[in-house]
C-alpha cells in the first residue's frame, strides 16, 4: 500500500513538512519495458467484464481481512502511513513494538520523533514518517479530542496523510464506501481494460463509475489480493500479450480468449 506522504497542517499551528523523497530509481527491466499497453475493451463490454471480474474475485476471496494489523482507527491510520514504500508484512512486524511505546494519540503526542524513528527504521523513510506520526497525533489531541476524524478532507489535512491513506481509513476503519487505488489496483484496472491507466485518480474515477458503492470496500481488497498472488507486475503480461505467447494469470487468460463470455 504505497503512497506519498505530504500534507499541510492547520495554519494556526503550522508544522514544517517536506515531501517524502522518492525511492532510488532503478533501471527499467526488460520485462517492464516490453509490457503491453492497457487492454482495450469495447464500451459495451466494459461493464459486463467489470461485473464478471467482481464475481470471480468474490468467489476467490469470500473474506476480505484488512492486511494491516490494527486495533482501532488510530492504529490503522498509523499503520497505513507506515506502509508508504513498504510492504504490509514489514509494517506488521514493526507496529507491535510501536504500540508498546504509544498506541493512542495522547501517548504518541508526548513522544520524541527520534524515539519513534528508532522503532520504525526498517519501514523506510523513518525520519519523515516519525515526524508525521508525532505531529498528527498532536493535532488529533488538539483539534479532534484525540479521535480520528470520520471525514475524508479532515484526514487529508493531517501530516503524512494523502488521499489514498485517507480513503483506506474511511473504508476499513469506518466502513464508508471508498475505492483507494494502490499500485496493484492501478495495474490490474489497466490490464483488464477497466481504465486507461493514465493516473491513479483517473483509475479511481473509472472504477467508481463501473462498480456500485456497496462493492467498493471489499472489491478494492480483493483486487489487491489477486494482484499480489496471481497478476503480479512480472508474473503476468496481461491479455494483450496473449498472441505473443505472454504469461497470463487465470483472469487475464479468460479475458484474452473471451472465455469470460461463456
Is residue 94 within 8 A of residue 118, CB to CB? The reply is: no
Active site residues: 164, 182
CA atoms of 56 and 249, how far apart (whole Å): 13
Report how far apart, in Å, the C-alpha atoms of 157 and of each of 109, 136, 152 are. 17, 9, 9
Nearest to 54 by CA among 180, 216, 167: 216
The beta-carbon contacts of 13-17 under 8 Å, at least 24 apart in sequence, are 13/139, 13/142, 15/135, 15/159, 17/131, 17/132, 17/135, 17/159, 17/160
Nearest to 243 by CA among 260, 227, 256, 233: 256
φ, ψ for residue 192 (rounded to 5)?
A: -90, 0
Amino acid at each position: 500500500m504505497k503512497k506519498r506522504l505530504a500534507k499541510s497542517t492547520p495554519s494556526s499551528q503550522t508544522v514544517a513538512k517536506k515531501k517524502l523523497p522518492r525511492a532510488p530509481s532503478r533501471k527499467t527491466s526488460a520485462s517492464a519495458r516490453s509490457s503491453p499497453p492497457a487492454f482495450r475493451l469495447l464500451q459495451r463490454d466494459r461493464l459486463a467484464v467489470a461485473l464478471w471480474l467482481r464475481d470471480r474475485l468474490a468467489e476467490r476471496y469470500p473474506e476480505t481481512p484488512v492486511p494491516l494489523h490494527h486495533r482501532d482507527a488510530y492504529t490503522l491510520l498509523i499503520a497505513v502511513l507506515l506502509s508508504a514504500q513498504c510492504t504490509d508484512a514489514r509494517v506488521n512486524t514493526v507496529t507491535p513494538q510501536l504500540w508498546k511505546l504509544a498506541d493512542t494519540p495522547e501517548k504518541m503526542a508526548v513522544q520524541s520523533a527520534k524515539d519513534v524513528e528508532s522503532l520504525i527504521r526498517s519501514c523506510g523513510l523513518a525520519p519523515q514518517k516519525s515526524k508525521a506520526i508525532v505531529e498528527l497525533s498532536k493535532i488529533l489531541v488538539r483539534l479532534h479530542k484525540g479521535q480520528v476524524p470520520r471525514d475524508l478532507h479532515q484526514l487529508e489535512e493531517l501530516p503524512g496523510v494523502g488521499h489514498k491513506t485517507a480513503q483506506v481509513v474511511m473504508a476499513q476503519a469506518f466502513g464508508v464506501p471508498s475505492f483507494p487505488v494502490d499500485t496493484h489496483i492501478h495495474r490490474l484496472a489497466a490490464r483488464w481494460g477497466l481504465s486507461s491507466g493514465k493516473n491513479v485518480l483517473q483509475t479511481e474515477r473509472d472504477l467508481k463509475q463501473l462498480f456500485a458503492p456497496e462493492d467498493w470496500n471489499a472489491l478494492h481488497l480483493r483486487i489487491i489480493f489477486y494482484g499480489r498472488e496471481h497478476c503480479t507486475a512480472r508474473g503476468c503480461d496481461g491479455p494483450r500479450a496473449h498472441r505473443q505467447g505472454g504469461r497470463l494469470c487465470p483472469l487475464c487468460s479468460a479475458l484474452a480468449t473471451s472465455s469470460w463470455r461463456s
